[in-house]
Amino acid sequence: MPFVQHGDRFCSWYTSDPADQIPVTPDWWGPPQESGWPHLGECRACHERGAVYEVPPLAVDVREQAAAFARWLREAISDRASRREDPAFVGHRADADVALMGWHGPTELIVMDGRGGAPERVLRCRECKSASYPCRTLRMVAAPYRFGSPGHREEWL
Ligand SMILES: [Zn+2]
Ligand SMILES: [Zn+2]
């Protein structure tokens, strides 16, 4: 969804037409703008002048946290599955947990605070949408593995 910045106020502008996503109308009398989208013009949401706002990328540490969690859990599951005790149960448990990891994988969303603040990029659970990653379901999946696999972090509880 495209955004327009007016000082410290932000507008979002949405249309279902994929060929019509430019959120500002450039001034017909203005200087030619660089290729791609025009960056300045009249906001199509509020009709004031504004600049197209690019939402900054996801914070590096958020992405790293998520990657560390997924890596740890994947290793813990496969380590558990390779042990010999009760292989049928452990095998099915491991398959189920790997499937849950897929369904509840991370996805990037852009959210607005509803008060005109800057839109922000966040990492959410693909399935639970409103939850952060790892979500409650995935934390529950991970919890029993922490006894057998070192490296579990307190913030994943
Ligand atoms: Zn606007
Ligand atoms: Zn979830």
Q: What's the pLDDT score for residue 60? A: 93
CA angle 94, 97, 103 (to 5 degrees): 145
In this predicted model, which residue has the larger pLDDT, 52 or 1? 52
Q: pLDDT tens-digit profile of 31-79?
A: 666 666 668 899 999 999 999 999 999 999 999 999 999 999 999 999 9
Distance (angstroms) between ligand 2 centre and the Cα of 92 equals: 20
What is the domain count for the chain? 2
Distance (angstroms) between ligand 1 centre and the Cα of 46 equals: 4
Q: Which domain holds residue 36?
A: 3-53
Distance (angstroms) between ligand 1 centre and the Cα of 103 equals: 37
18 and 94, same domain (yes or no): no
- Residue 132 carries which DSSP code? B
Distance (angstroms) between ligand 2 centre and the Cα of 105 equals: 7
Residues for the chain: how many in total?
A: 157
Do the Cβ atoms of 107 and 130 come closer than 8 Å? no
34 and 94, same domain (yes or no): no
Is the overall model pTM greater than 0.85, yes or no? Answer: no
46 and 65, same domain (yes or no): no
83 and 40, same domain (yes or no): no
107 and 144, same domain (yes or no): yes
Distance CA 24, CA 52 (A): 7
Q: pLDDT tens-digit profile of 124-143?
A: 999 997 888 999 999 999 99
82 and 151, same domain (yes or no): yes
76 and 132, same domain (yes or no): yes
135 and 75, same domain (yes or no): yes
